[in-house]
Amino acid sequence: MKTPIFTGAATAIVTPFKGNEINYDKAAEIIDMQYEGGISALIVCGTTGENATQPIGEHEEFVEFCVKKNAGRMKIVAGVGSNDTMTSVRLAESAKKSGVDGILMVTPYYNKTSQRGLVQHFSTVADRVDVPMILYNVPSRTGIGISVETYKTLSKHPNINGIKEASGDLALFSQTRAACGDDLFIWSGNDDNTIPMMSMGALGVISVASNIVPDAISKLCRLCTEGDFKAATELYFKYADLFTKLFIEVNPIPIKTAMNLMGMDVGNLRLPLYEMAPDNLEKLKKSLLDAGLKLK
């Protein structure tokens, strides 16, 4: 019988930079803020954390730092996705040594593979590293999605715990839920899909918006868990436009920009990510203010 790594709201945290270096003091502040906001888990070195431009050594050091700073307060899940399976093995082994509670592994991007290849890609890591794995399905970014049949096959692996389902395809989600049941736990990978997915059995969300409104996202998940979907919907409507505007450009450009606008000083983006276009910046500012958030 599998146990989910976490339930409720997890934050895919940004990686704060100062020039070309990680700002560890700011990272510590972010971790404390997330805990105080009621967040259940942190996703470290994921897409929102700009893992694609992190050298392996820096990636490993940041995971270790976050585990130590967190000190067991929340669950820690480390991103280990790569389009090279053996790189994912190395990152997973390092994450386990650091004491993470789980790993997050996205489908291989650019070179991609077949569905049979996906089974081998994920299974190779799960076979070698005894730590619970969350599969990450986001075909809009990687160019390859996971089928229901592949999910069902992977659900039988004891180390594969669940899915961050960010395809936006509710039919795929519902069919996967029906096929796999509690052999494969599911979390929404999009803030705007949290309520419909939790109404059908998802355990929460891996959120971008909770970088700035952790208390609201944790409350949203709690209301859904309690079955109060009317109150959850009312809360959702308050932030619905913001959920959209946080993806007006490629993530994490808008969320990092929002955090800086709010005075959180998380620093720069790493190229090829670049500052927001002026018209989109104004739309983001308006959305933040409309949601009741204060800008510096």
Domain regions of the chain by residue span: 8-239
Is 164 designated active site? yes
Three-state DSSP class for 269?
coil
CB 10 within 8 A of CB 34: no
| CATH architecture classification, 8-239 | Alpha-Beta Barrel (3.20)
Is 136 designated active site? yes
Token pair in block for residue 253: 């450009």
pLDDT of residue 1: 83
CB 96 within 8 A of CB 129: yes
Catalytic residue among 26, 75, 151, 164: 164
Q: What is the DSSP string of 52-118?
A: GG--HHHHHHHHHHHHHHHTTSSEEEEE---SSHHHHHHHHHHHHHHT-SEEEEEPPPSS---HHHH
pLDDT tens digits, the chain, 296 residues: what are they? 899 999 999 999 999 999 999 999 999 999 999 999 999 999 999 999 999 999 999 999 999 999 999 999 999 999 999 999 999 999 999 999 999 999 999 999 999 999 999 999 999 999 999 999 999 999 999 999 999 999 999 999 999 999 999 999 999 999 999 999 999 999 999 999 999 999 999 999 999 999 999 999 999 999 999 999 999 999 999 999 999 999 999 999 999 999 999 999 999 999 999 999 999 999 999 999 999 999 99
User: Which run of H or E residues covers position 17?
Assistant: strand 17-18
Find all residues with CB under 8 Å of 3, minimum gap 6, and list them.
Answer: none
